[in-house]
Structure 1
Amino acid sequence: MFNFRNTNFFSALLVICLIVLKAALFYWLLFFVVYIIVVLCGSFFIQLNFFFKSINSLPNNTNRIAITFDDGPSPNTLDVLEVLDKWKVKATFFCIGSEAEKYPEIIKKIHQGGHLIGNHTFSHSNLFPMLGTQKINEDLLKASYTIANCIQNKPLLFRPPFGVTNPKIGRSVKMLGLSCVGWNKRSLDTVSNNSQAILNRVTRNLKAGDIILFHDNLKATTQILDQFLSVANESGIACDRVDSILNIKAYEKIDV
């Protein structure tokens, strides 16, 4: 099984072999380069489950997909909600705590619409993966309670910023009782404003069990969402919340 623990185990064996064989400097350098590449790939590709297990796809026997949105809430989220309501579908929103603090009414509107809200950190800082475990815990808890102040429910589903994982984030996820959710189909709407290209990307090979990553703070997403849902509908594929498809607990009820 390709994961961090096994990689370190076999790396330790290889180090012993290099010592016993008195390997030349070239082989040591090669070993370290390969090791770093493997760990970096494990960090940046959440689908590998390298450091800890994430939910990256869904059972395909339910004929459902999960549409997920990151980085909201924002004023643009209201347009997204309008399209979802038109098609009577439910989605999952991984919300940034600092944005929820700015737009609590939008958080409430997402919740009232029957959509799922997950934790996407409070800060969404580029340096989030560099933080220590305690700081990660504090950031995640701050996001959870900011959202809970709006909907009286603390989210139990989490998506790391940029999909980057490492052992510290894994420890925090376990300590806080969170479930990590990744994706297997990415719209890349953050790097392209070409609506047709985004639509082509998310509809190509669309199948039951997909978890699709969009961003609800971008106009490009809103522009293609209606067409995307039309394609899914014509294909006989329903859209639902991650927790509904997997029958897992998504919230912890709290008094605030």
Structure 2
Amino acid sequence: MTHQRKIFIASLSLAFIGSASTQAQETSYCSASFASRQPTSTFALRTVKDDVKRLHFIDGINKPGCPSLDESCQLPAFVVGGDKLLVTSVSDKRIACVHYFSKAGKLSSGFVDLGSLGLPSFPEDKLNSRAGYGAWSNGYTGLIEIKPGSDDYVVISGDINRGPPSYNSGTLNGPAFLSPNGNDRTAGYVDDHYNGDKAPTEKPDAGAAMDTCRARLRLMGDFLIVDDNDRCGGNGVMFTGLYKKKP
């Protein structure tokens, strides 16, 4: 990868306990890319309760009357007791949008019954630590590697491909500077020294290049949450999504 593409960012922004109104939002759509663009305050980790043998995913808008806790909305796919999930929203019906990586690194996203999950946790791992360092995969073609830098930045590189029928690719390459006001929980770099304080899709500050790639990385336990401004690769290429650290 080259430095000619002026890209890059990363932001680590760990969640704190939000209000009930923040977590209790109505939604009928649950996907990794949609969830990755949501505020950090909506994220939490939860574990499927040990006494749950099978927790089936729930159909969304594809079936009338769903998502709901009615048995007719259940899908064949399921998780089991002890599985760790990333929760990115909870509806007023107590239905959670969750994301789960299998041991093989494949991602599943969908709705489940919140009542079958344990209490939420909010890890405080930092991007510039052993928890953040390593290679992270989205389970498909996206790969982002985080390496130690200095006291004020980490070094990040990424590759992703899209196709067929047409093939396009994207890259990330550069230092991600840790925000002095974020307790090492926020970091970023681009021409205007983007530090991840705002979503990458928001309008840049005056003087910033409009066509510059911006991406944000947030660490939540075993999940790396990534969103970009759709300018980090060819047509249809984006790093936006969820990533799991490779063994």
TM-score, normalized by length of structure 1? 0.28
**Higher share in strand:** 2
Give the TM-score of the pair, scaled to structure 2. 0.29
Specify the structure having the higher radius of gyration (Cα): 1
Q: If each structure's helix is expressed as a fraction of its own residues, which one has the higher value?
A: 1
